[in-house]
Amino acid sequence: MRALELIHSIDLLDPYKRYGKVSRVVGLMIESKGPESSIGDLCYIYTGTNLKTKIPAEVVGFKDENVLLMPYLQVTHISPGSIVEATDEPLKVKVGTGLIGKVIDAFGQPLDDSSLSKGLTSVPTDQSPPNPMKRPPIHEKIEVGVRVIDSLLTVGKGQRVGIFAGSGVGKSTLMGMIARNTNADLNVIALIGERGREVREFIDRDLGPEGLKRSIVIVATSDQPALMRMKAAYTATAVAEYFRDKGSNVMFMMDSVTRVAMAQREIGLAVGEPPTTKGYTPSVFAILPKLLERTGTNEQGTITAFYTVLVDGDDLNEPISDTVRGILDGHIVLDRQLANKGQFPAINVLKSISRVMNHIIDPGHQASATKLRDLLSTYLNSEDLINIGAYKRGSSREIDDAIKFYPKIISFLKQNVEDKVSIEKSIESLTLLMEKGDF
């Protein structure tokens, strides 16, 4: 039986290699006459006279019977007539437990020039989201170790949450806290479009040695071609999917979805797509749900995902923010005004929401969270009157209570970067604060 299967596999093999020739290079795009290939296939472009150097590229479209290729690496030494070889398969990366503790690129290769361990499994980077009818409901909390999130924006295993903020408001620091403090089995962290300086700073300062020991970091810096940045997001998601399918509870973080969208915009414009909403091409809004829906729960395990969204000009209604917010299961808004006041994490509780929180917490916890939100909202609505002395104590019982609780609420919302608070302790502190006015 085994011999028959092998014979059948051999019969299915295609013994031919298919080649084409570069005919034109325009900007980011390379046109070639052939080879026969499909959208998403990996090809190699040979440069130089000895054909020893090859540049990986991906088929991104067709035009007048020509193949449109986009390189993963910088285009150098490509000339008319350069040989293009088809592989007849999409990009694959090697994944396994041997990657834990490593920093890799979009191809899955370590950035410290070390070699990959043996026993890794090759998986395609582009995969379909799980069948919605086979996704188990989210019914269990996951600890992130940040008091304000665990108590007021409780996250479930398999939930997908967006972190919305402008530049310099503390996204990376918050991600580092979550990576160090979570009780997930491992972290998969994608740094897309970051400055080269910030990558090392995030790994050394925000993530730290303890965090790196239980993490896999995928990096594509801002100087790399758009396709490389795009594929890094797909590679990171594929790595997380591999461990989820092995039964693990994975904490997945991507910084940032906005730069993934910008990379796809570059690709779309190079192919010839028309710019539509604020210059973004239609393909951007097609790939975002496909990418973000790949995380979450399936029958084997869970991927709890945090996606950062760089809010342009602190406008939460710009196209990418609006689209991502509609896809995900909740959003956390980092407020620049709170950061300027020295509140960290600078989470605006009233603008943030966890869409699964009420399904995974008990009624007592829910009542305490609702009460804190009410008190905070009441104080902020009356803050101007209170600050100028126009409010007279005793005029409103709700405002009196809000004034009494406000300093304690602000203390509760603050947390030092080095502090780790368990989810049980966070919920207990919230209950004590609302019942006794202290925690």
Residue-wise pLDDT tens for the chain (439 aa)? 566 666 665 555 556 788 899 998 888 889 999 898 999 899 999 987 667 788 899 998 888 889 999 998 877 778 888 899 999 889 999 999 999 999 999 999 999 878 888 889 999 999 999 999 999 999 999 999 999 999 999 999 999 999 999 888 888 899 999 999 999 999 999 999 988 888 999 998 888 888 899 999 999 999 999 999 999 999 999 999 999 999 999 999 999 899 999 999 999 998 888 988 788 999 999 999 999 999 999 999 999 999 999 887 667 788 999 999 999 999 999 999 999 988 999 999 999 999 999 999 999 999 999 999 999 999 999 888 888 888 888 888 899 999 999 999 999 999 999 999 999 999 999 999 998 877 6
| Long-range contact pairs involving 57-60 (C-beta distance under 8 Å, separation at least 24) | 57/30, 57/84, 58/91, 58/227, 58/231, 60/29, 60/227, 60/267, 60/270, 60/271
Distance CA 173, CA 184 (A): 18
CA distances from 328 to 17, 258, 288, 354, 414 (A): 43, 14, 11, 10, 26
Q: Which H helix or E strand runs over 327? A: helix 319-327
Tokens of residue 177, six digits: 């806290």
Query: Residue 256 carries which side chain, given as an amino acid letter?
Result: S
Among 192, 203, 196, 204, residue whose Cα is nearest residue 258: 192
Tokens of residue 149, six digits: 């999130």
Strands (E), 345-427: 353-354
Residue by residue, DSSP assigns 291-320 as: HHTTSEE-SS-EEEEEEEEE-GGG-TTSHH
Distance CA 46, CA 22 (A): 10
- Report pLDDT for 284: 94
- Report pLDDT for 163: 96
Q: What is the DSSP secondary structure assignment for residue 263, as one 8-state letter?
A: H
Q: What is the DSSP secondary structure assignment for residue 426, as one 8-state letter?
A: H
The three-class DSSP label of residue 141 is strand
Spatial neighbors of 279 by CB under 8 A, at least 6 apart, are 265
Per DSSP, what are the bridge partners of residue 63? 66
Q: Which H helix or E strand runs over 61? A: strand 53-63
Q: How many CB atoms lie within 10 A of CB 294?
A: 23
Counting beta carbons within 10 angstroms of the beta carbon of residue 120, is it exposed (0 to 12), middle (13 to 18) or buried (19 or more)?
middle
CA distances from 210 to 180, 204, 206, 408, 425 (A): 7, 10, 11, 32, 22
- Report pLDDT for 297: 94
Tokens of residue 152, six digits: 């007021």
Question: Which tens digit of pLDDT belongs to each residue from 50-104?
Answer: 677 888 999 988 888 899 999 988 777 788 888 999 998 899 999 999 999 999 9
Q: Which H helix or E strand runs over 9? A: helix 2-12
Cα four-point dihedral sign 157, 293, 191, 285: negative
Distance CA 211, CA 103 (A): 12
Per DSSP, what are the bridge partners of residue 308? 163, 255
CA distances from 104 to 113, 169, 213 (A): 10, 27, 14
Among 103, 45, 52, 104, residue whose Cα is nearest residue 71: 45
Spatial neighbors of 96 by CB under 8 A, at least 6 apart, are 117, 119, 120, 121, 242
Cα-to-chain-centroid distance, residue 410: 29
Q: Which H helix or E strand runs over 199? A: helix 196-201
Q: How many CB atoms lie within 10 A of CB 247?
A: 11
Q: How many CB atoms lie within 10 A of CB 223?
A: 11
Q: Which H helix or E strand runs over 8? A: helix 2-12
